[in-house]
Amino acid sequence: MSLPVSDSNPSTPLDSGDLRDRIRMLIEQISDGMFEREEVVSVALLSALCGQNCFLFGPPGTAKSLISRRIANAFENPSYFEYLMNRFSTPEEVFGPVSIKALKQDQYLRKTEHYLPQSEFAFLDEIWKSSPAILNTLLTLMNERVFRNGETLEHAPLKALIAASNETPQPDQGLDALYDRFITRLLVQPILHNDNFDYLLNSAPPPEKVVLSDGLAVTSEEWSDWQGQIDQVRISSDCFTIIHLIRAQLEQQQDALEVYVSDRRWQRAARLMKASAFFHGRSQTHHSDALLLRHCLWTQESNRDAIGLIVLEAVQSVGFEAGMQLSTLDQAKDTLDREINDELFYSQDVYDTVREEDREFFRVDAQFEMVNYRDFKEVEIFIPVEKMRTQDVFSPLDDRGNEISEITAQFEGQGSCRLQYSDYTYRYSDLIFQPEVVFYRGDRKPDVNRRLVNSLAQSVRELKAELNQLVERANSKQDDYRSSLHSLFVPSELTEQTLVGVEQQMNSLRLRIRDCERLEALCR
């Protein structure tokens, strides 16, 4: 997976004031010769540009230290510290030796010049192999950017600390707090594609430092100024929705994934998203910025891919906000749908019945045929309509409302009613009565008030017009969305995936309009 690379010549002096173009050129030049590392370099640079610490995870020999040096190379005259940790490392090797002169004056001070507390950029290789004394001191230095030197708290100019290891810290080792301070966690893999691998074999080792175009390196003043501007970027409503979906999934799958994301991590991951938006010239975040969360939320190699998929699916499921009150419109459409069907169409079968006071009956002129005789027993009976919904055995009524005890009735399947007549003299065959349907469910009611029909049709037309306006606005915004889809920090094949939610949103709008057309047809 690689980022799209421009054809611009790195040796060409920078003459554009556009910040996006500048960062693009910066990424291209510091990733020169870094085969299949362009995304890692770009995200690590973004982390440094917004003051976040970065953890590089991968096997030995995958250029993790070179990546760190190239990131520092993107800044003007950076103070840089690098150290390979081991279990015998001492605080003096990282934070500076104790000052003998200060000791003579009964003060415990370190000489921090040229060591980590006075560096703008630092690279700590095999960080988890260090001693607890070093790792505990790093906590405050990485988070608050201060270093306790004796009785004095010194401001540390640290812009970004990059650490590397071929393993993630094991649970229950007391390293959770330190690991949590590495907001960006990047997998650095060996070269996968044969053409890049062959080119690597034929190439000289890439230099640790590249010569940048004039005016391309980031100055300390620019970096400081950008921090305030990044804070002014807003998280969009779309991205809030994406974040909430991710949080819900992480909570549901917590037992399987064993992932805990602290409030601090969420806040600083959001800052990474804001920084991405800022360097693309936007005042609020975008779906492509949310894809960066896949580098911020995983903890172990075993859950990295699963969390990446959760992030991608959340981004895909969310369209863009276009001033749409779809829930209100859906409610209005559903209300109209019910009203049209209630007023214009029968909601259930209508039978030929008679009404007596507050009850409804089927009137039947029953003719029971005598068994073995060509004769009939004719009886006028009234069957209560409410019995149709039961399988009760009952006796129908006569025209005075009295039960006819000689006749028993029971409704069977398909709405038919079996009638049995019995007396002590003759036997009679059973009679099957099938209620006559006058209007079937869904039939249009006759003689509906035309003014009511016209009013309902007008309401549907107004709702359809409002949906069409939303489609026009959404189409316009979709064009803007597509034009800003490309990201300096996310591979193009992933940013294209963000269109899934947008297409679903547009299809949803079109389906609503077709549903309005269906309602219009019902009102004709």
Q: What is the pLDDT averaged over residues 168-172?
A: 85
Q: Are residues 248 and 309 in the same domain?
A: yes
Show which of 439, 462, 494 is a domain's final residue.
439
Whole-number Å distance between alpha carbons of 480 and 474: 10
- Is the pLDDT at 323 greater than 60, yes or no? no
- Asked if residue 12 belongs to a domain, the reply is no
| CATH code for the domain in which residue 206 is found | 3.40.50.300
Considering the domain architecture, whether residues 199 and 86 belong to the same structural domain is answered as yes
Total length of the chain: 524
The pLDDT of residue 446 is above 80: yes
Q: Which amino acid is at 188?
A: V
Residue 14 lies in a domain: no
Domain that residue 61 falls in: 19-231
Only one residue has tokens 């007391």, namely 174
Domain count along the chain: 4
Over residues 381-387, mean pLDDT: 94
pTM above 0.75, yes or no: no
Residues 385 and 499 in one domain: no
Residues in Cβ contact with 211 at an 8 Å cutoff, skipping those fewer than 6 apart = none
The one-letter amino acid code at 262 reads S
- For 456, residues 6+ apart whose C-beta sits below 8 A from its C-beta are 336, 339, 340, 343, 344, 523
| Contact present, 81 and 120 (Cβ < 8 Å) | no
Mean of the pLDDT values across residues 109-132?
Answer: 93
Are both 273 and 392 inside the same structural domain? no
For the cut 80, the answer to whether the pLDDT of residue 500 exceeds it is: no
331/372 same-domain check = no
Last residue of a domain, one of 439, 472, 506: 439
- pLDDT tens-place string over residues 49-88: 999 999 999 999 999 999 999 999 999 999 999 999 998 8
Domain for residue 6, yes or no? no
Q: How far is CA 316 from CA 115, 205, 236, 308, in A?
A: 45, 40, 16, 12
Among residues of the chain, what percentage have pLDDT more than 70?
Answer: 95
Of 495, 468, 469, 471, residue with least CA distance to 482:
495
In sequence order, which residues have a C-beta less than 8 Å from that of residue 470 and are 6 or more positions away?
A: 322, 323, 324, 326, 329, 509
Q: How far apart are CA 110 and CA 90, in angstroms?
A: 13
Residues 365, 421, single domain; the answer is: yes
Tell me: do 462 and 478 sit in the same domain.
yes
User: What DSSP character marks residue 318?
Assistant: -
Name the 3-class secondary structure at 414: helix
Judge whether 4 lies within some domain. Answer: no
pLDDT in tens, 324-336: 566 788 888 899 9
pLDDT at 108 over 90: no
Residue 169, in any domain of the structure = yes
Last residue of a domain, one of 183, 216, 231: 231
Asked if residue 252 and residue 204 are part of one domain, the reply reads no
Q: Tell me, what's the pLDDT at 103?
A: 87
Residues 66 and 190 in one domain: yes
Same domain flag for 286 and 338: no
Query: For the purposes of burial, counting CB atoms within 10 Å of the CB of 240, is it exposed (0-12), middle (13-18) or buried (19 or more)?
Result: middle
Q: State phi, psi for 157 to the nearest 5 degrees.
A: -80, 15
Question: What's the CA dihedral at 204, 210, 211, 216 to 10 degrees?
Answer: 150
Question: In the chain, what is the straight-line distance between the N-terminal and C-terminal CA atoms, in Å?
Answer: 56
Question: Are residues 466 and 407 both part of a single domain?
Answer: no
Q: Is residue 71 part of a domain?
A: yes
Is residue 273 predicted with pLDDT exceeding 70? yes
pLDDT at position 8 over 50: no
9 within a domain of the structure (yes/no): no
The residue behind tokens 């053409």 is 195
Q: Are residues 86 and 226 in the same domain?
A: yes
Q: Residue 4's pLDDT is what?
A: 37
Q: What is the dihedral of CA 462, 467, 469, 472, to 10 degrees?
A: -160
Distance of CA 280 to the CA centre of its chain: 21
Mean pLDDT of the chain: 89
What local confidence, expressed as pLDDT, does residue 373 receive? 82
Q: Are 30 and 289 in contact (CB under 8 A)?
A: no
Q: Is residue 3 part of a domain?
A: no
Q: How many beta carbons lie within 10 A of that of residue 424, not counting itself? A: 5
| Most confident stretch, 123-137, 293-307, 479-493 | 293-307
- Looking at residue 320, its pLDDT comes to 60
Who contacts 97 (Cβ-Cβ below 8 Å, separation ≥6)?
A: 110, 111
User: Strand 437-439 to strand 350-351: parallel, antiparallel, or no bridges (unpaired)?
Assistant: antiparallel
- Return all residues near 314 (Cβ < 8 A) that are at least 6 apart: 242, 243, 245, 246, 249, 290
